[in-house]
Amino acid sequence: MTFRTLVIGAVAVVALSACSTGAPPVASPTPSASSSAGPSGPGIAPDDGGVYPLLPATHPHIQLQCPLISAIHYDSLVIAPADVDGVFVCTAEPWTDAPDGTPQLVQYVDRVDQDDIPALLTAYAVPDAPPTDDNCIMSLQDPLIVWLHVGEDITPVYAPRDGCGFPSAASAEAYHAVRLHRLLVAREKETRD
């Protein structure tokens, strides 16, 4: 199985769950540290119904900064913006032109510029919209997860959702507006059949 097929498979699963119920997957109500599922393989999120990136960064080095645990909605009353030491974004993308021909996952750790954190957290603190009865487009969108570091604790939070369960326009705009500092690039080979 390649990353491409993995992604296509994930698309089908998420699209069905988002539109058949009209509601987004339920995020873990508890702090992330208590629900460490961990990666199940390169580029594979745990199959536990949690909220994960579409194509998660699973490299062990990156897991230290962005552990693959189900993201929750950001609540500024639980994690005050002033207590957030740093915000990190960990992403991955397939690299199919590797010299040895083996598909790889190129993965990144980026730090959100300190000056951009307040606006991002303000946008992420907006409640999810209630599920809509309108027809939702059959598509897949990344939950735009960012990892909040508060002392020793790391909590992934997703972008607030619209009625179809996808990141709202405002939260997506905030996510894409932040300036990033690249800390690490890692590659992971696809090793499964």
Partner 1 sequence: MTDIRPIAASDRAAWETLFRAYGVFYETDFDDQVFDGVWAWLLDPEHEVSALVAEDAGELVGFAHVRRLSDTFTAGSAWFLDDLYVVPERRGQGIARDLIERTALDGAAAGGGTLRWITAADNTPAQKLYDRIATRATWVVYERELGNGTGIA
- The answer to whether residue 111 forms part of the interface with partner 1 (CB under 8 A) is yes
Question: Which position among 21, 185, 187, 189 is part of the footprint of partner 1 (CB under 8 A)?
Answer: 185
CA distance 56 to 69: 10
Q: Give the SS3 label for residue 146.
A: strand
The residue among 137 and 185 lying less far from partner 1, judged by its C-beta, is 185
Joined together, the tokens standing for residue 37 give 């599922």
Which of 61-69, 91-99, 120-128, 131-139 is the region at the interface with partner 1 (rule: CB under 8 A)? Answer: 61-69
CA distance 3 to 55: 9
The residue among 27 and 90 lying less far from partner 1, judged by its C-beta, is 90
Evaluate whether 50 touches 28 at the Cβ level (below 8 Å).
yes
CA distance 193 to 190: 9
- The answer to whether residue 153 forms part of the interface with partner 1 (CB under 8 A) is no
Which of 17-25, 137-145, 163-171, 176-184 is the region at the interface with partner 1 (rule: CB under 8 A)? Answer: 176-184
The residue among 47 and 113 lying less far from partner 1, judged by its C-beta, is 113
The residue among 16 and 64 lying less far from partner 1, judged by its C-beta, is 64
Q: Give the SS3 label for residue 31.
A: coil
- The answer to whether residue 192 forms part of the interface with partner 1 (CB under 8 A) is no
Cross-strand pairs, 146: 157
Joined together, the tokens standing for residue 96 give 């199919």
Query: Interface with partner 1 by CB under 8 A: which residues?
Result: 60-61, 64-65, 85-86, 109, 111, 113-114, 180-185
